Amino acid sequence: MVQYNFKKITVVPTGKDFIDIILSRTQRQTPTVVHKGYAISRLRQFYMRKVKYTQQNFHEKLSAIVDEFPRLDDIHPFYGDLLHVLYNKDHYKLALGQINTARNLISKIAKDYVKLLKYGDSLYRCKSLKVAALGRMCTVIKRIGPSLAYLEQIRQHMSRLPSIDPNTRTVLICGYPNVGKSSFINKITRADVDVQPYAFTTKSLFVGHTDYKYLRYQVIDTPGILDRPFEDRNIIEMCSITALAHLRAAVLFFLDISGSCGYSIAQQAALFHSIKSLFMNKPLIVVCNKTDLQPLDGLPEEDMKLVMEMKAEAMKTVVGQAGEAADEDAVLLTMSTLTEDGVIAVKNAACERLLNQRVEIKMKSKKINDCLNRFHVAIPKPRDQKERPPCIPQAVLERKAKEAGEIEKRKLEKDLENENGGAGVYSADMRKHYMLADDEWKYDVMPEILDGHNVYDFVDPDILQRLEELEREEGLRLEQEADDDDFEMDGKELTPEEQEALAEIRKKKSLLIQEHRIKKSTAESRPIVPRKFDKDKKYTTERMGRQLTSLGLDPSKAIERIRGRSVSRKGRKRERSLAGDDEVGDDAMDVDGDQPRKKLRLRSQSISRSRSRSRPPSEVVPGEGFKDSAQKVKAMKIGKKAVKARNKDARRGEADRVIPNLKPKHLYSGKRSTGKTDRR
């Protein structure tokens, strides 16, 4: 099944926009800086690349326009004729032909100038050839400006055309203007066609869809047709003629028997006979509309005779189609779109006849032989002479009758609406369908906000149980914290010597705290004395050792630890000084000849790593929304990849074009001739 979607055709830019887009892209995506000192081969290559790139972009854009617009000879005849009626086939083909010619001309210009650039002997000559090539390409595009504008107008109009499938099940409505065609399609489909009490309200084809026997049908509303010569018909009428000529559909010819449309039954019958050749081999139904104003039985004799003639013609068109010739009632139907009397009957009759015709055509086709080989109908052999008609048990019949009675008794929402004031007055009661444990609860008023709180935040049947669990958990946590905080020694488990040492330590601790507080209170006015000028020698390892020894503690490990720190600090300084020297090789020895500098550098790196450093990019910070560092690294990779193409194009954002400098230097500098220099 072929589907035509003209909404996907790309926008056709105007000639000026076309040139701006291509030249801007060439400027962005090719190198822009060249110097006189370059080799001549490099200069030639620089300008040849610009010419080729511009030609390639023009070729791609023009090819997209030529390929996306439909070729009238390759698409369905219905669409081909419809486009011819709307836009004139010759003008359409000429415009596309000019686009194709421009594409070939630009390719030829680029080929010629690339050949000349191969023999350019200076920067000035190469640049002049490049400017000439791009100028001639732009001139070609300017000349096809009217064709581009015409194709853009066609594209806009085609995008508004309805999406009609020429091969699916279709019901086509035709007739004089203002006979009720649009009202009918609004009744049987969800289409919203404008309906007004004057002629030619519908100016184009409108499509709606309806269902019958679980199948989807396409309903097409055509503009009104007047009874006049073919060459005098306008574009609006020709749309209807095209649809009648090319679509295999069930045709509903609408007849206004009341005459309120402004045309007599004789005029409508003349139109029917003038276009009856378009109804051949199609299911045709003559629909007498507006029976609420004029019943069919009350027509004058002359008008009734004309209606019967149309009925006889309609019978002729369907002779031989699935035995429908004998069913005369299905050819002439009456209805009123105002009262909706007979609307569904007309729809069902048209769909049924169309379905029968399609089945008949498929039965006559060659494909049916392949299908019949797969079918097998099993017929049981008779065992005796008894007749066994189909039998439905009495209990089933009684139950069906009971259900039908209940359905009749049950009131629907529509009945309640009609009883209580109709649409806009009646408000449906939704609470009666609530499924609750007790029906009396259905109309209880439950507040949403109470005392400034959302009620639904506190509606929890297990809230007391959860509160108890939380309190129990909080109590356990507090007990655990109390156990952890109980780290002060009471001295009961210690020996007398250890108790004396503990008392000394506590005394010393209190003295230090007091001293610290005194220093803190006088810190602003007290000068800072460097350690090397400390006359009292308060902070030395010997003094610390004497103090610890006096307390009865072994100071050796503390002294070793402090000396180890000072040695590592000196070694670090030494390594930094070595790293700052000029490197003479990885195997060069240090001053003392103890170890190679390479090992020193490695050691200094390991030491520097042990010190504090800034957070690595892959580390997850709380609140960033990442599960772990692997997920963060993956997200960073995807983000870099997403902006890579944009960064390559040197674009500021995601827009199509960015001109970072409105006056680029290469266009506004250099020698200038006499005259105006405001544009160069």
Between 286 and 235, whose confidence is greater?
286
Domain span at residue 556?
537-577+594-605
pLDDT of 30-55, one tens digit each?
888 888 888 999 999 999 999 999 99
Whether residue 129 sits in one domain with residue 176: no
CATH number of domain containing 92? 1.20.120.1190
Q: What is the DSSP string of 488-504?
A: ---SSSS-HHHHHHHHH
Residue 340, amino acid: E
Give me the pLDDT at residue 116, please: 93
Residue 593, amino acid: G
Secondary-structure percent of the chain, ordered helix, strand, coil, rounded to 5: 55, 5, 40
Whether residue 177 sits in one domain with residue 121: no
Q: Is residue 91 part of a domain?
A: yes
Q: CA–CA distance from 146 to each of 10, 89, 520 (Å)?
A: 18, 17, 89
Tally of structural domains, the chain: 3
Q: Is residue 119 part of a domain?
A: yes
Whether residue 248 sits in one domain with residue 120: no
Q: Is residue 421 part of a domain?
A: no
Q: Is residue 342 part of a domain?
A: yes
Whether residue 210 sits in one domain with residue 100: no
pLDDT of 631-645, one tens digit each?
999 999 999 998 887
Identify the weakest region by mean pLDDT among 382-391, 542-551, 665-674. Answer: 665-674
Q: Is residue 188 part of a domain?
A: yes
Of 480, 503, 481, the closest CA to residue 490 belongs to: 503
Whether residue 290 sits in one domain with residue 181: yes
Q: Name the domain boundary from 340, 365, 390.
A: 365
Q: Is residue 458 part of a domain?
A: no
Whether residue 218 sits in one domain with residue 146: no
* C-alpha to C-alpha distance for 263 and 363, rounded to whole angstroms: 42
Average pLDDT (236-257) is 85
Looking at the predicted structure, is the pLDDT value of residue 577 above 60? no
Whether residue 296 sits in one domain with residue 262: yes
Q: Is residue 189 part of a domain?
A: yes
Whether residue 172 sits in one domain with residue 320: yes
Whether residue 119 sits in one domain with residue 188: no
Looking at the predicted structure, is the pLDDT value of residue 148 above 90? yes
Looking at the predicted structure, is the pLDDT value of residue 586 above 70? no
Q: Name the domain boundary from 128, 158, 188.
A: 158
Whether residue 210 sits in one domain with residue 192: yes
Whether residue 146 sits in one domain with residue 94: yes
Report CA 657 to chain centroid distance, whole Å: 22
pLDDT of 260-287, one tens digit each?
888 888 888 888 888 888 888 888 889 9
CATH number of domain containing 332? 3.40.50.300
Q: Name the domain boundary from 112, 132, 158.
A: 158
For residue 393, what are its two tokens?
Answer: 């048990």
Give me the pLDDT at residue 563, please: 79
Whether residue 198 sits in one domain with residue 80: no
